Structure 1
């Protein structure tokens, strides 16, 4: 396995990111998110998203195949000052446990190092992701939001302090 992390730049990488987005949602969220929502999250919709918002995206590649990605940037609202955000981090299931997520996280956090904190929103029932973020140093700060993905589902906010 030859894993590299790089900024997403090419059409092929953007299409690879879209595939990982689509596939990872179906792998990670079956049984957590309504099947009706997963059914409407098509590969084409993920490609539209990938081409519409190509900035601040890292891809993890095994040789030339995109196997994961991370999206990051300034925190979406002004509730937390001087805070960056991990918007998404997804890896194909067959690469779980191989360090790909940690490599993506490390690189994304390097890009966010000028912020005093980094936040991530995670589905409350996604125990695997919560465990991953905790191992990366994130802690739940008690903030929850309910979002609509055909049916209501709860997200929790986790925050990492960057005061190293």
Structure 2
């Protein structure tokens, strides 16, 4: 079977806010399905594009990439430098690849662009076994830290470090 061509990945700009919001929201729906109340999705439908526009207009130390295939956004990644006292100097804050794009190495390419092989950390929903396995293949390990974020519908998250 011939290899599939790679998705096009580039730095995101303010002009990508709507596309990033769509991928972010769809990625949540595909990943968390019935675990997050519909009210959370409904609220995010009304706020996520504006949040992305603001984040991209004033990114600070955060860098965001967008993956596109055939002109449509299919994935995103964001990473940021962290301050003193953090477990690593770099945090992967987001990595979402739409279900139809998974298995095409787009997530791996996004991860490599976002953090390379640098020491870093990320938070992942505790029982997202697919994501934990993906990150383990890239050298990340659970370090025992855990948190609950109201913004995530109170889904507990665990920290992975590399």
Give the corresponding residue for 2:130.
128
Q: Residues 67 and 82 from structure 1, CA distance in 2 versus in 1: closer, same or farther, beyond 3 angstroms?
A: same
Preserved CA contact (<8 Å) 1:34 1:150: no
- Distance in 1, matches of 2:47 and 2:21, equals 8
- For residues 98-148 of structure 1, give each alpha carbon's deviation from its aligned partner in whole angstroms, at most 9, with x where no partner exists: 1110010011113x84xxx20000110211111111111110001111222
2: CA distance, partners of 1:48 / 1:103:
27
Q: TM-score, normalised by structure 1?
A: 0.83
Unmatched segments (≥5 aa) in structure 2? none
Q: How big is the alpha-carbon RMSD for the aligned residues of Structure 1 and Structure 2?
A: 2.0
**Is the contact between residue 19 and residue 73 of structure 2 (CA under 8 Å) also seen in structure 1?**
yes
* Offset of residue 10 of structure 1: 5.3
Task: Point out the structure with the larger strand share.
Answer: 1
Structure number with higher helix proportion = 2
Q: Distance in 2 between matches of 1:151 and 1:108?
A: 26
Structure 1 segments unaligned to the other structure (5+ residues)? none
Question: TM-score under structure 2 normalisation?
Answer: 0.84
Q: In the alignment, does 2:68 pair up with 1:61?
A: yes
